Chains A and B, each alone.
Chain A
């Protein structure tokens, strides 16, 4: 019991008179107190006094002392009542004392009375005991868990940063522990005074709040197809970028990456094939649209959760841009009032993944190439082959010899150029630090991240660096207005050889294995200089992007808890500068030869890109319960403007390669500038209603305008409706629920019509992404000389359609959500049909004299059918005194698409057999059947004429050992008919290159601080045909001078007629739809695969150790990415590199880098 008054004036208040009323009061309210023995005194005037307080995070007692100091008042209270209170912050500017006291005691089970000069603080509800304890989940302590007493709404507290709490409760109370994402736990208090509570993660996550467009929604109340993952699923393993981390986590969120280069950013797709002209999901980070490149640059550690809006109903709020799904990324913010300092760091080693294999034995190589070259060339003279034979038997013989004339070096090497080009391992480093804290008026989150990835190149390596700083502040300006700012600074730098751009991997593959990199005198050989010297000594390219994004947002409560108004304004400024230059590397061809440069025209070039992007949103949200009815309504406005200026300047002839700059170049200068801007405006609205959370209905709509369309066709309206029925809440369902151990069942249905305003058509259109309806003439400098220089020229514009408008995407979706066994098992299933109408695709194929690319028009319709399934099993139990938990998550999806309208009356398939026609299934591959190989030249004439299936390089002739194409229609000639669907000759559909049945299996478990995760991901069904010039597969069949692949060895010869490959024939696999370039089942590859995407083993230090270290959490982990894969390809290529969902030539897959396996050691630490 404390009783104090201002020290300065101790004598002034002596001599108390206890008013009669006080006695009564004390008798009633303060029955347990012995304070009656204390003398009290007060002046009535005390209640009119004001105080001036500004205190932060202090004990309540301290506030009372301060008030007492400033006034004549003294306090009277039970010490025990104040002991367990959390520190408070208070700001009162000459306010009445009552205001100060209300603030101090707000939310506590306490009240006060002013009696003359004494303030008596007492409990609102009587408590008898004090309970203390900690709350944790299976792995760590939980901060911010709400601990309350059932039946006593005023008594509650929250756990502190260490998961500890202390609460005074009545006797025999029932405590409840509530935390988002966890099952609420009830504990009956008996004799115990300390509790150690373990919360179980809520399996169904029904209580989970899901981020939807312009708001959040409880998962139970969702009527659309929405999926969400939280940071938990991302942060346990090291990831290069967010896209890589999301791969496989959400069914039908398809993330693909074409190669393993640090700057290759994964592309996103929702629910498969979208439109013939492409179409990507809209990605928003904190409500601001981001491109996939921009997403790849953000710090994955900043991400709190990722929501995917898959169907039209949930995406309709984004109208014309949500047609192909929406990915909402929300970044972290401060959660608790304890300073949360989190640090993580990891070091990874990447090793080369699959590489195509080539034979390098010099004699074997010469033999097979020579065979391929006939009769066009005699690639290797007899003398060379003789030496190769000797060297093949005795590898100690030198690889470099002198030619007959004694001047030139001859090379008889066994070089595996891929091994020469790449190192076996390369490091990756990542460090991340974040600080967050939230008090009652202000919250902040600051984070910084550094990521560095070294390339795998042996010579002139490339290095990628990324820096990220984010600062978020939330400020309660008044009790009805909250202002926040979210600022991001990103900087990336990629420094690499210019030669790495383009077809580096392809070029390395094509470099002759008989060549060697270095001459005996240590100089580069020509081949070495062209491939490796260009990396080591050639020009470099330094690419820097600096990005600044800041969002100011305000939220005003018009009617507290019922009606809110939100507004935000964002500016993004991006500046990119790429400085590049090229200089030759030097090589020698013989001992006395002079050093020769690989090329003569050096240059320096600067590429500048500036982007201004402004986004404004304002929306107001009304939500209220009317008895059993809940109504929410939202209406808002969005406006965006984007301006981009890219310009470059290139100057020839550097004075010195050591000072490569456009300023120091002396030669011809070329340049270009391209300015693009676009704007969108939209008005959007959502109305949702539910009755007892049993019957749910929602309407979303948006009226959108885009500058990408001509004035008359600029605006579109995109509505959607959806409904849900929580069957499990019906009383008639109880018996079924009990019988099936089912906890929850909801069925959902939706329909919506959305738009698409972004399309990727022919790159011949220089301004296709901003002014696709304006026929813009290109202007550029000629590449030839007229008069004294290379003049500027203006060229005719490509054709455009003057009527086109939005693509419309209609989606019908039906879904079911179920939970069983106390929500341990969760089942989510969605089935949908998506109609992509008025696709902006090249209109009907026009006769050649049209003379240019057929412009896009709203010329086609597409239908996509698909489904997705997610099964989750989450459980935890006590094992050997410690909680053991394990989670299993399975995802599986599928989709197929067909063309339902396309103006191609003749159903012509064109030269490349890819023209669209009504009834076409996307991805279908037209091909022929190969029945065997000709046994002899005479055998060729004994079979039906198949000239039409030949290759121009062999003048469409066939010889012994060549493939026999089947005369399927039995007309006595093997041909391609009219190359139409109705007359395809002997061609037919032999497969489909769509990625079908993408799946993932995620297993994770933890016990005694150890956690372990296995993540598998794969594609269930896909055909892949190695097209013409796929040298990795075809080797010498593509071009005779390329390297023979390991699989080429098994080829037809008169004595090996049963081989996999036909007789070696130059160029027979060079062009698509010629000879081996005609797809056929014999060489069709099974593109399905399963990959162990990630293995992680982590260990979290136990709480006892942490307390000694004064740390909150420490976790060590080892993680392995892309560990191994099951693939059925005959060629050692990474199955993921074969290309994404769209048909592509795939000839030069792999670009600069093969995929890599990554092994990482890391540390996560929270102070």
Chain B
């Protein structure tokens, strides 16, 4: 029985080894769960670090009337909307990805209760989360009007997933509560301006209240006009607080200083920046700003036209302003024009050879945000310029516009805001009396809903806003809140072409490109051989563009022309986007926004 003893012994040893209690209880040595997290203010700091992805810098005005033609938005929903073919069947959005940022925020807010520590620090981080929630929700409100409000993370069986939308007013009230909490609790300067501070909270609050105030004022169908002044007043007070206490300034006193805001690699110390997106070669964090120039889009003639003359008079008041050559339009203009649209003779290389514009997208190439220093311009997602997410100029413009909309604006207010921006680039100051005495007719035609005693100055504030903040991502929202969506229905134009043949686009007097009709080279037959050899030829009606008057006029785009996709704007429904049909199937209580039912 010796063998039995051996076996019994071996079995006992084995059993002893294997019958460990909780053998099947396993947790990772590297994973974090909420049980071990959300204990200290530092945990909240770590969590909010991940939320910053929700607020990044903009450097284009895609989808707006600042753009001539863009491949980038060919398939964008705004373009489809304007072509009249967007529908609940084809529209995207309202899916888990669209709502994921809210869940991320609510997850922290739901769990922050167990954090212990300095209440001021805890509330600072809660304030950041609530600020971002307000930002998220206001984007939803802008897109859909009414939306369901969720202040907690939803479980798989939460009834609220199937609730109907909450009215805009209720949602905006909740947004305001979040914003006011943030303004009251986010600390003025935690470390530096790459973090959210009290000042960025105030800026967002001003931005949203200005939007909501003007939206309610101009979208009279909502019947909320009476509530508009409250929002505008808060926009004034919030922006005033930044002006009075923030310590920000309009930096510099030249066009070069203006340029530096959008194309330099260190804005940390720039006193105009309220909230900064840093980029760094060393850290491998980069942006894609080099694509603004001549990659997928160009800017519109309409935007170019709105820049004033150097003497402060409207370009649109000059004779034949619409028939000026590419080289002529830059003469004696607001210097910001040449910082926004690539001027003739611009060179992006060390040799200094001029960059030759192409008429495919209209020829008015965006240069704002283009990194000038080749060392900062490494290619696709490899540009290392810092980008402003919020800057002081916007605050000044909010302050001026809100006051003007309230009808309570003084010359002093204008001097403290708009005129600071004009002064930097050497444009004469805006005078309320002059502006109101004779409101600019060109602008008045564009914004017919602007009326009253401050009509003139309000129109000039809108001009200043469009010019100063061009390509910073505000234009589309501005048109929507001003109820000026019809401007999107106008077919955009590019540069003016006086006649078929060679055209000088570098300002050296000799033709660089030629616009021709296919099969007819006669318009350039007379050019010297040397010029002809280097000239770049483009043919009308062949690729993307045609000329307004067949053989002359502004460059227009075939895409906007029948049978392609002529634009229209249906005032009764286009201010909101439809919700994908499958979402209304999943939640039968979810109704389409006005006009889309």
Binding site for B on A (CB under 8 A): 370, 373-379, 381-383, 404-407, 478, 480-481, 554, 556, 558, 565, 567, 598-601, 603, 616, 618, 637, 639, 652-653, 667-668, 673-681, 705-707, 711, 714, 766-767, 770-771, 774-777, 779, 782-787, 789-797, 799, 801, 843, 845-855, 857, 906, 908, 910-911, 937, 947-948, 950-953, 955-957, 959, 975-976, 978-980, 1067
Contacts and interface: CB of A to CB of B under 8 A. Distances in A.
Contacts of A677: 26, 28
B173 interface: no
A683 to B, nearest CB: 11
A377 B85 CA distance: 21
B50 A795 contact: yes
Given A376-B544, A955-B80, A794 B32 contact: yes
B74 A681 contact: no
A406, A599, A796, A906 — most chain B CB neighbours (10 Å)? A796
A953 B75 contact: yes
B133 interface: no
B565 A955 contact: yes
Nearest to B533: A404
Interface stretch (B89-97, B229-237, B338-346, B423-431): B89-97
Given A404-B536, A598-B379, 10 more contacts: A481-B6, A565-B7, A770-B28, A797-B107, A848-B96, A850-B156, A852-B100, A948-B90, A952-B77, A955-B83
12 contacts: A376-B74, A598-B379, A675-B28, A776-B32, A777-B34, A784-B53, A796-B103, A796-B108, A797-B34, A849-B148, A952-B80, A979-B582
Given A558-B7, A771-B28, A851-B102, A793 B49 contact: yes
B87 A947 contact: yes
B161 A791 contact: no
A209 B107 CA distance: 59
Contact of A667 (B4, B103, B283): B283
Contacts of B103: 796, 850-852
Of the listed residues A598, A785, A848, the one surrounded by the most CB atoms of chain B closer than 10 A to its CB is A848
Nearest to A789: B283
Contact of A848 (B71, B94, B108, B535): B94
Given A404-B534, A406-B534, A791-B49, A797 B33 contact: yes
Interface string B548-581: 0000000001110001110000000000000011
A790 B46 CA distance: 11
B18 A681 contact: yes
Contact of A676 (B28, B37, B87, B277): B28
A382 B539 contact: yes
B151 to A, nearest CB: 12
Given A565-B7, A600-B382, A785-B194, A847 B537 contact: no
Contact of A771 (B27, B34, B107): B27
Contacts of A706: 24
Contact of B582 (A376, A849, A910, A947): A910
Contacts of B53: 782, 784
A678 B558 contact: no
Contacts of B25: 707, 711
Contacts of B79: 955
A845 B32 contact: no
Nearest to A672: B30
A853 B96 contact: yes
Contacts of B378: 599-601
B154 interface: yes
A957 B559 contact: no
B382 A777 contact: no
Contacts of A848: 94-96, 98-99, 583
Nearest to B350: A594
A481 B3 contact: yes
B45 to A, nearest CB: 8
Interface in B437-463: none
Interface stretch (B253-261, B325-333, B584-592): B584-592
Contacts of A906: 585-586
Contacts of B10: 554, 567
B146 interface: no
A957 B544 contact: no
Nearest to B539: A382
B31 interface: yes
Contact of A785 (B107, B279, B580): B279
A855 B585 CA distance: 20
Contact of A911 (B282, B284, B559, B582): B582
Nearest to B384: A600
Nearest to B4: A558
Contact of B31 (A774, A783, A853): A774
Nearest to A651: B284
A101 B79 CA distance: 101
Contacts of B194: 785-787
Given A667-B284, A796-B104, A480 B3 contact: yes
A381 B543 CA distance: 9
A847 B544 contact: no
Contact of A775 (B33, B277, B278): B33
A616 B3 CA distance: 21
B266 to A, nearest CB: 12
Contacts of B75: 951-953, 1067
Q: Which has the most chain B C-beta neighbours within 10 Å: A376, A558, A674? A: A376
A711 B27 CA distance: 12
Contacts of B586: 845-847, 906, 908
Contacts of A680: 24
